[in-house]
Amino acid sequence: MNVSSISNRSVAGRLLRLPLALIPGALPMPVLQGPLRGHWWITGSSNHGCWLGSYEYAKQRLFARMIRIGDVVFDIGANVGFYTLLAASRAMPEGIVVAFEPLGQNARFIHRHLRINNIDRVQVIEAAVGDTNGTVRFKRHASSAMGRVSEDGSLVVEQVSLDELCDARTIPDPTLMKIDVEGAELSVLRGAARMLQCARPSIFLATHGAQIHRDCCDFLRGCGYSLRAIDESTTSVDTTDEIIASPRGSDATA
């Protein structure tokens, strides 16, 4: 059952969610449905949809279908590790997952989710991803999932470039990347230009803002990628903010 599809403004939605407030935040709960069914999740790390299995219901299933055993998956903007855990569950035992998350509190949840599920071969890099190596300012948000790189941010965090890391063989070249970085998407792509041309990974991309969306689409097309909307009911990539980018000539979106 996709609980998240039932509005919390309806009577049914409020009644369904009422018992959730009684669950201790530090309690590990088994995921009830979806590709992560049976894995363990810390209830207070994110919204309850994660362990209920309804979080980004269609998107998580599409993401899982694209991963094969042995894949190398980058989770860029990993937050507390839902897609990191999902990628690891599908790519193991031969695969590798690299999770990038600049906030220490979120990274600690990633490590805990990996530990309680006995998952290794995941590298957690506590840094933002952009077009250069160095430090950047980071602006917190009331939701730990929505912080972003910003010149008026109160935190200073490390930033890494994917090209620099891959060129140095600090991390392997990816076969699939998930990017959700609250507005820094173009910076991530620019900092991965060489790797995109060589490794040709497929990309799950969430954009934040109409201009950034257009710029990212133009950049990816210029790198030889075909684009389609993640939401299969949306035919135009210009009217969505979540796309799959696949190297032209590949069958990665099949």
Give a yes or no: residue 146 inside a domain. yes
Half-sphere exposure of 146 (CA within 13 A, CB side): 5
Determine if the pTM surpasses 0.75.
Answer: yes
41 pLDDT exceeds 50?
yes
Q: How confident is the model at residue 9 (pLDDT cuts 50, 70, 90)?
A: low
Per the structure, the complete domain to which residue 174 belongs is given by 66-247
**Whether residues 95 and 5 fall in one domain:** no
Q: What is the pLDDT of residue 254?
A: 37
| CATH at residue 243 | 3.40.50.150
Average pLDDT over residues 216-225: 97
Of 13-17, 164-168, 225-229, 231-235, the least confident: 13-17
Give a yes or no: residue 253 inside a domain. no
Give a yes or no: residue 254 inside a domain. no
Give a yes or no: residue 60 inside a domain. no
Q: How does pLDDT run across 190-203, given as a tens digit for each residue?
A: 999 999 999 999 99
Average pLDDT over residues 228-245: 89
Q: Is 166 helix (H, G, I), strand (E, B) or coil?
A: helix
To the nearest 5 percent, what fractions of the chain are helix, strand and coil?
35, 25, 40
Token couple for 149: 């790189």
**Whether residues 108 and 189 fall in one domain:** yes
Whole-number CA gyration radius for the chain? 18
Of 85-89, 213-217, 231-235, the least confident: 231-235
**Whether residues 48 and 71 fall in one domain:** no
Identify the domain boundary among 36, 55, 74: 55
**Whether residues 202 and 223 fall in one domain:** yes
The DSSP code sequence of 44-76 is GGS-THHHHT-TTHHHHHHHHHT--TT-EEEEE
Among 94, 188, 110, which Cα is nearest to 144's? Answer: 110
User: Which secondary structure element, helix H or strand E, spans residue 247, and what is its range?
Assistant: strand 242-247
Number of independent structural domains in the chain: 2
Give backbone dihedrals phi and psi of 97, rounded to 5 degrees, phi first.
-120, 135
Give a yes or no: residue 61 inside a domain. no
